[in-house]
Amino acid sequence: MIGGAQGLGVDTSATIFGNAVARAGYYLYGNREYYSNIKGRHSYFQVVFSEKPLHSISSTVNVLATFDAETIFQHFTEVTDFIIYDKGVEGTNLDMVRSMEPEIAEQVRELLSKNGLGDTVKDVISYLEKKGVKAIPINYLELLKRVADAYKLPLSVVERAKNIISVAASMSLFGFKLDYLKQAISSLFKNDLFIKFNTMAAELGYSLTENHYKLPEISVSKPRIQVDGNTISAIGKLAAGLRFQSYYPITPASDESTYIEANQNLDMIVEAGELRKGGAVVVQAEDELAAINMAVGATLTGARAATATSGPGFALMAEGISWAGMNEAPVVITYYMRGAPSTGLPTRSGQGDLKFALNVGHGEFPRIVIASGDHEEIFWDAVWAFNLAEKYQTPVIHIIEKTLANAYSVFDEDHILGKKIPIERGKIVKPSGDFFRRFEITEDGISPRAFLGEASMFYAGDEHNEEGHITEGTENRIKMYEKRMKKLETADKEIPEEQRVNVVGDGNIVLLTWGSPKGAIIDAMDELKDVMMIQVKMFNPYPKNLMRKLLQGKSKIIAVENNYEAQGAQILTENTGIFPTNYILKWTGRAITREEIIEGVKQIVEKGEKKVVLSAGA
> DSSP states of 308-320 as a string?
EEEHHHHHHTHHH
Burial track 522-540 (b if 16+ CB lie within 10 A, e otherwise):
bbbbeebeebbbbbbbbbb
Sign of the alpha-carbon dihedral angle for 601, 603, 605, 606: positive
Rounded to the nearest integer, the mean pLDDT of the chain is 94
How confident is the model over 211-241, as pLDDT tens digits? 899 888 888 888 899 999 999 999 999 989 9
For the chain, domain boundaries: 2-206, 228-415, 427-495, 497-613
Residue 59 has pLDDT above 60, yes or no: yes
Please tell me the CATH code under which domain 497-613 is placed. 3.40.50.920
Residue 277: the pLDDT is: 55
Q: What 3-state DSSP class applies to 342?
A: coil
- Predicted confidence (pLDDT) per residue in 400-409, tens digit: 999 999 999 9
**pLDDT tens-digit series, residues 417-452:** 878 888 999 999 999 988 999 999 999 999 999 999
Percent of the chain surpassing pLDDT 70: 98
pLDDT (average), residues 489-497: 98
Apex 597 CA angle, 378 and 599, nearest 5: 170
Instruction: Count Cβ atoms within 10 A of the Cβ of residue 117 and give its class: 0-12 exposed, 13-18 middle, 19 or more buried.
Output: middle
What is the per-residue pLDDT across 329-358, written as a single tens digit (0 to 9) for each?
A: 999 999 999 999 999 999 999 999 999 999
* Mean per-residue pLDDT, 95-115: 88
Distances (CA, A) of 527 to 156, 373, 599, 602: 48, 21, 10, 11
Average pLDDT rounded to a whole number, residues 234-253: 95
- Inter-axis angle of helices 254-262 and 229-240, nearest 10: 50
The fold adopted by the segment(s) 2-206 is Pyruvate-ferredoxin Oxidoreductase; domain 3 (3.40.920)
pLDDT at 274 over 50: no
First to last CA, the chain: 12
499-512 mean pLDDT: 97
User: Sign of the CA dihedral 583, 584, 590, 592?
Assistant: negative
Domain covering 228-415 in this structure, CATH number: 3.40.50.970
Pairing between β-strand 408-412 and β-strand 27-33 as defined by DSSP bridges: antiparallel
Please spell the DSSP secondary structure of 434-454, one letter per residue. SB--TT---TTSPPPB--BTT
Nearest in space to 304 (alpha carbons), one of 260, 349, 348, 342 = 260
pLDDT at 263: 87
Q: Does this chain's domain 228-415 share its CATH topology with 497-613? A: yes
Q: Quick check: pTM over 0.85?
A: yes
Highest mean pLDDT among 128-132, 172-176, 536-540: 536-540
Other Cβ atoms closer than 10 A to 607: 8
Q: Check if the beta carbon of residue 356 is closer than 8 Å to that of residue 369.
A: no
Model pLDDT for residues 7-32, shown as the tens digit of each residue: 878 888 999 999 999 999 999 999 99
CA atoms within 13 A on the CB side of 154: 2
Q: 438 near 451, Cβ under 8 Å? A: no
Amino acid 269: pLDDT:
45
Closest CA to 306 of 290, 322, 291: 291
Span 258-273, pLDDT tens digits: 999 998 776 654 554 4
Question: Three-class SS of residue 353?
Answer: coil
Provide mean pLDDT across the span 130-156. Answer: 95
525-550 tens-digit pLDDT: 999 999 999 999 999 999 999 999 99
Q: How many CB atoms lie within 10 A of CB 262?
A: 10
